[in-house]
Amino acid sequence: LVSLGPIVHNPRVVEKLQRMGVTVARELNDIRGRAVLIPSHGARPEVWAELEAKGVEVVDATCPFVRKAQRAAERLADEGFFAVVFGEGGHPEVRGILGWTRGRGTATLEVVEAVEIGRSRGPLGLLSQTTRPPEAFDEFAAAVKRELASLQGEVPCVNTICPSTRKRYAAARELAKRADLV
């Protein structure tokens, strides 16, 4: 079994899987074998099509919350919105999500950039990388909506932050209240 990139951001898990015979391919061209594992970050539709063309068995380990973000991005694009993902453009999850927009999306962490995109590319729809801080996304979305209200009216915003991520951020905030250093 070959994983198309590390299955998760956890070196111990990746090492354990490697000891069990799972190798990691950095690119599609590096894939040798009959079965490929799509990591938790998911993949663009083009990757799925290329794997199908190669005739390999695909094992989909895409996180259900990443899958939700992919579908939200696809739906926004299908409905005529330019999807803006609040996230890191180079992150594998974000690259995968953007693939589902078929060229009608981008990623940014900057309100000014999102607003400019809304002014130049047409109506925006917002979603988030699944692991971004919830409060940061809420602030980003509120600011973008406020800036584009007169131009666009309602800016659709899809909550795609993972519930576990929300819990971890909340737990960290609570711990910070009781500790001198976190």
- Residue 144 contacts residue 126 (beta carbons within 8 Å): yes
* pLDDT per residue rounded down to tens, the chain (182 residues): 888 988 888 889 989 988 998 888 888 888 877 889 999 999 999 999 999 998 899 999 999 999 999 999 999 999 999 999 999 999 999 999 999 999 999 999 999 999 999 999 989 999 999 999 999 999 999 999 999 988 888 899 999 999 888 888 889 889 999 998 87
Q: Look up residue 21 and give its amino acid.
A: G
pTM recorded for the entire structure: 0.88
Q: Is 93 a catalytic residue?
A: yes
Q: How many CB atoms lie within 10 A of CB 115?
A: 20
Q: How far apart are CA 14 and CA 25, in angstroms?
A: 12
Task: Write down the catalytic residue from 93, 135, 139, 174.
Answer: 93
